[in-house]
Amino acid sequence: MLQSHNMEQSAGAWNIVTNEQPFVHQALDQLNIAVTTQALLADFGGQQVTLHNIFTNKPTTIPARSVVLVGLRLPNDDLYQQLES
């Protein structure tokens, strides 16, 4: 089951713009993968993670054997740049 640990629940916020978000959340839910958002990873020791809320800096420690970070997509506009020159 997806868990937000008292934080807003969203995996890859940009997915809502690309219409992928429902599919991403359905797949994560089927795999029983917890989702935690609006937090910075402060520590990962192989058995648990310590997260800090991005607004309050309040730490939260939860059991976890792995971590998946969702971040920025970097554009690959090499072809566009070549065509423009």
Rounded-to-integer distance, Cα 44 and Cα 67, Å? 8
What is the per-residue pLDDT across 8-60, written as a single tens digit (0 to 9) for each?
A: 455 555 566 667 777 888 888 899 888 888 889 999 999 999 999 999 999 99
Q: What is the pLDDT of residue 11?
A: 57
- Residue recorded with tokens 């997509």: 73
Q: What is the pLDDT of residue 27?
A: 87
Domains of the chain: 1-70 (3.50.50.60)
pTM of the model: 0.55
Contact between 59 and 43 under an 8 Å Cβ cutoff? The reply is no
State residue 62 phi and psi, 5-degree precision: -135, 150
Q: What is the pLDDT of residue 33?
A: 85
Rounded-to-integer distance, Cα 9 and Cα 83, Å? 40
Contact between 65 and 50 under an 8 Å Cβ cutoff? The reply is no
